[in-house]
Structure 1
């Protein structure tokens, strides 16, 4: 006979052999003993926790003529037929590949026929959440009122995807993740039965990597036995699971705690060069920090879960304050989330080590912790009274100083009714000369052309450039230049430094208006001052006034500009309501 995987060979055949689900198995046994079985059950829980095994055992126990205390005998023809999958009255369906309406309708038709060999016809539908909406609807009525000799057992890892109308028609049993200690005990029993020597710590490594799933644990054990040479060692388990040794974890966390960033990164590079996976390393570091907290609060409980503790681990647990461990866990947890969505997890892991090394820089140094005992929050009880007394004295001094300064400010404010405001400093240097050059040659038709083509010009730019120019408007235009007023100074500064924006804007205007001006950027709150200064500096002689541009060649966006806009809006509204023939505009 060909080789079978361990999880198939050691699949539970009795309720008592299902590990870590005592509440579920005892309830099902009592229901069989008392003849109070339901017509439909829903088994939910993580993968590899015994859902399908429990369903098959239940099918055997309820049909076994020799069952005792709710357990099947596993010797009769019915039990053997169910175990080997050849009894026609126990139908196991994979909903992942049979999720259509037609498959469920086929079940509805066949459910009417009585069982041929067993007392009950049992339908086990695995991964039932994969059924389509139509298939669920087709199953509803049959699930609610099946024939008296039919039982449905639905199994799923994602119960939130099952309609509530289905869940309400079943008895639900939640299978929990199996404890590490239970997995270790079961693996030890299997290795003993197989006459394989093993190190106990290797079983803890495998159990932790399985994350509460017995099937995963048996698969890893199977792989580790194939890799080992007749004896299962801790080193073998670490290599197979990709986990870190306790000594490596001690060194890495110790380096971070002592703020030795370079040494921590060197250790990390060595681990990565050995082929360690980033996600697995993060998981191990999180579990290590969790163990530090557990050892501080409940050391006996941790020893039963983790096997053994190194001397450096115990030393770190005594030295590290709980608040610092909380910060470590937060940093590692955030990094674990970021690693899931990146193609460069090693970079995030290196950044995490740097963060860990810099975390808690304000807490007590390790050297001081060795000399002075600490309590649960990392505060030295021998100096706490002195620190508090010093703080109280400092507070009283600050309070006296505050009252003195307040009285002085009161005297000064009584003498000065309106204190001077310091002028706000602007980091952007106004291009005054360039603005004046544009205004000196500005024409109204040129500005109107630019304003009319402005929206079309924005569509020719990139999304980023378009967003930048959305916060601006053209306020003056000449044959050689264009002044843009920006709502925000920081956007104005970025736009003035963006040569690509200037180039694309020129090209767009050349394409639309055959006009390629130099772009001048200014904040909108400075435009009114620049405009007024230019008007006031214009020569007053008749010959010069004839050459000077008309003030309509550029717009004003503050003060009277708002008034003109309001008046124009009022006239437009009146024309729209009453028509141009009725409305007469009179200028004062």
Structure 2
């Protein structure tokens, strides 16, 4: 006996056979029961949801010899002939191949004639959105006021392409996608009737692949049953459809978290060797991370998606990702999926997309852990710095005491001057030594150049510099943007920071090298990055404004160029340097 495709053999022949459209079936049955049928109906919805089947069942119901009845008997001559398509008064027209104005004019002429074989003429126009504008205009008047013995049923998957004037003349019914549970029950029933042995996981996966279309689900089942000899397993469904098991996606997600690029590329190569297409893998991966996000954000989210086979496994994996990571992953996959439609090498784009996901997850981890590490290292560095500064202050006080004692022992007219000068120097220098490690050399030069034209040019380009650093590495930008440029001198740019942790992280050799390379590109010449604390910079400016114009006055050395007869003078020079000590007679 000739084999008939499952979707044709199991096409609904009565309203009770239809799956998932109870809101439409009940309305039509009530209209038949109460004799309130309309002259024109519009059935819209996704493919394979039963629009044309419902139209033929309605045609049989209104023309049944035992009716009109809420269910056609499928036994009388009228029902059997309408099912076989042998009744001239029930005409099914494909608008895709009869879309011109001439065909519609011919239909309009034939509408006038009374039916000859059944009670009522029924015109079923499938894919009605394919009609031309002229054809719609020719149909309008007839559609609005047809003869009493005529019924129009328009079916379309794209109702938005119909003129509003056509939609307003019809009763519109929107067919919805068949739910996963309803599809699975129907597929199991058909398998039992056809003698097909199918695993529950295989049935569930077929239902998911059909995307709510019952016809697509039956076509996939028919294909796999033919391949497997009537025994349908989950693995066979994956192999035949090019699908990827949720377990493999979970392994791929773990490699992304671990940043294991080698294993990830091996998995992609394995997918391609199994004959899976890159665009289908991308689509499935996008759905996978979408489901992870739903489970991450919404309790009991497995009810919001029909692709989650094991909610517990999804929940465990979702815990390893942050919401920010999942949002970025979905945005990245969506962007690359759009580009893949026009790519000559879609597999390459798929690989690049996953490499991009590795950088997203790694950068997120670095951002999450680096501040904590910086705080601990900053605290340790701060404690060591305080200890070092205290030791330096103690050594300086001891040196000053020795210098004072040497001055008192030697006597002389310069003693009092040196004594008072050293006391002033001690008081003035002590607070400055506490910040010595944070204040760069040549502060006078930076203070003098803080309003120079070259520095103003750097200030004007600072936003561009920050953006360039962000493009190079976003984590360095997060630390560097805490500082602000305060001065520039020769080949150095001085940046002052409000927070010591940000300054220390910026000063790390790798980070500093990257920033200096950006400075060179943006400013057109090599520049060194010099950093300090903003508070110290403000104190330095204030100190420069309040400092006395004359340097320290101490007794000069003898003109013979030999060593000084006053040892405290040598000590003062050693402490403060030649630049700050002037010796006068």
TM-score tier by shorter-chain length is: 0.5 to 0.7
Distance 1:143 1:318, change over 3 A: same
Could you tell me the TM-score, scaled by structure 2's length? 0.62
Distance 1:301 1:417, change over 3 A: closer
Show the counterpart of 2:193. Answer: 193
Which piece of structure 1 moves more, 21-30 or 320-329? 320-329
Show the counterpart of 2:345. Answer: 344
Show the counterpart of 2:94. Answer: 94
Which piece of structure 1 moves more, 353-362 or 164-173? 353-362
Show the counterpart of 2:18. Answer: 18
Distance 1:312 1:160, change over 3 A: closer
1:132 CA drift (Å):
1.7
* Long gaps (5+) in structure 1: 369-382, 391-411, 426-489, 494-588
Secondary structure, counterpart of 1:219 in structure 2 = helix
* 1:313-337 deviations in Å (ceiling 9; x for gaps): 4421232223322222222211211
1:319 aligns with 2:320: yes
Secondary structure, counterpart of 2:306 in structure 1 = helix
Residues 200 and 307 of structure 1 are in contact (CA less than 8 Å); yes or no, is this contact kept in structure 2? no
Show the counterpart of 1:144. Answer: 144
* Long gaps (5+) in structure 2: 380-443, 459-520, 525-585
Residues 43 and 174 of structure 1 are in contact (CA less than 8 Å); yes or no, is this contact kept in structure 2? yes
Residues 295 and 302 of structure 1 are in contact (CA less than 8 Å); yes or no, is this contact kept in structure 2? no
Show the counterpart of 2:278. Answer: 278
Aligned length: 390
1:330 aligns with 2:331: yes
1:127 CA drift (Å):
0.9
Aligned-pair RMSD on alpha carbons?
3.3
Q: Output the CA distance in 1 between the equivalents of 2:343 and 2:295.
A: 34
Secondary structure, counterpart of 1:422 in structure 2 = helix
Distance 1:54 1:141, change over 3 A: same
1:300 CA drift (Å):
7.3
Secondary structure, counterpart of 2:42 in structure 1 = strand
Show the counterpart of 1:290. Answer: 290
Which piece of structure 1 moves more, 76-85 or 318-327? 318-327
Q: Output the CA distance in 2 between the equivalents of 1:211 and 1:418.
A: 66
Could you tell me the TM-score, scaled by structure 1's length? 0.61
1:303 CA drift (Å):
10
Residues 59 and 122 of structure 2 are in contact (CA less than 8 Å); yes or no, is this contact kept in structure 1? yes
Q: Output the CA distance in 2 between the equivalents of 1:88 and 1:69.
A: 21
Show the counterpart of 1:516. Answer: none
Q: Output the CA distance in 1 between the equivalents of 2:331 and 2:261.
A: 19
1:240 CA drift (Å):
1.6
Distance 1:356 1:242, change over 3 A: same
Show the counterpart of 2:39. Answer: 39
Secondary structure, counterpart of 2:151 in structure 1 = strand
Show the counterpart of 1:354. Answer: 355
Distance 1:418 1:184, change over 3 A: closer
Q: Output the CA distance in 2 between the equivalents of 1:71 and 1:241.
A: 37
Show the counterpart of 2:164. Answer: 164
Secondary structure, counterpart of 1:361 in structure 2 = helix
Distance 1:211 1:233, change over 3 A: same
1:151 CA drift (Å):
0.3
Residues 42 and 171 of structure 1 are in contact (CA less than 8 Å); yes or no, is this contact kept in structure 2? yes
Residues 291 and 302 of structure 1 are in contact (CA less than 8 Å); yes or no, is this contact kept in structure 2? no
Show the counterpart of 1:309. Answer: 310
Distance 1:311 1:166, change over 3 A: closer
Q: Output the CA distance in 2 between the equivalents of 1:19 and 1:298.
A: 30
* 1:222-281 deviations in Å (ceiling 9; x for gaps): 111111133110011111211012222111111112221221111111111221111211
Residues 325 and 361 of structure 2 are in contact (CA less than 8 Å); yes or no, is this contact kept in structure 1? yes
Secondary structure, counterpart of 1:257 in structure 2 = helix
